[in-house]
Amino acid sequence: MTEDHEETRKEAIELFQKAYELQMSGALQEACDYYKKSLALHPTAEAHTFLGWTYSFMGRYDDAIQECHRAIEVDPDFGNPYNDIGAYLIEKGRLDEAVPWLEKATKAVRYESYCYPHLNLGRIWEKKGDWYQAMEEYQKALKANPEYALAAKALGRIKGMLN
């Protein structure tokens, strides 16, 4: 790696971190601008995914999905964009279309939060009235992260309905 390339990569990381701070503080449009600057210097799956996440906060689900597709092009092993596409499709009411994306997230090589796609799959099955499949996904979410309160609450809700 050349010294110039390393400097560009470092600058892209700094822009990404600034974008994330702006996003978390609610300055969404400014965050988008910084993510785009980071991507212009050094495209990463993370920056595309987080730009998509920012778009989702703005209700721009189609743009969010498009960024996730770009993230997958950069790194098909990165799990976050698969889960995020599924979550955005759930928000758009396209449950059946969301399932294969979430299933891909559960098998992604590079992913730290397998609990999220399992929770999202549980949400789909619950909305469809398939209580046992929903319960199974919520249990998988808790197996992946025993501290995941949303999954524990959802599992409790389903168990309460079945008793």
Q: pLDDT tens, 38-79?
A: 999 999 999 999 999 999 999 999 999 999 999 999 999 999
Task: Give the three-state DSSP class for 78.
Answer: strand
Residue type, 116: Y
Q: Which runs of consecutive H residues, i.e. helices, occur in the chain? A: 3-24, 28-41, 45-57, 61-74, 80-91, 95-106, 115-127, 131-144, 149-162
Residue type, 45: A
- As a whole-number percent, the residues of the chain with pLDDT over 70 amount to 99
Of residues 6 and 143, the one with the higher pLDDT is 143
Asked whether residue 2 carries a pLDDT value surpassing 90, the answer given is no
Q: Is 66 exposed, middle or buried (0-12, 13-18, 19+ CB in 10 A)?
A: middle
Task: Give the three-state DSSP class for 3.
Answer: helix
Interhelix angle 80-91/115-127, nearest 10 degrees:
20
**pLDDT range class, residue 1, cuts 50, 70, 90:** low
Which tokens go with 87? 């979550």
pTM over 0.85: yes
Task: Give the three-state DSSP class for 110.
Answer: strand
The whole-number average pLDDT for the span 25-35 is 97
Q: pLDDT tens, 81-115?
A: 999 999 999 999 999 999 999 999 999 999 999 99
Of residues 111 and 163, the one with the higher pLDDT is 111
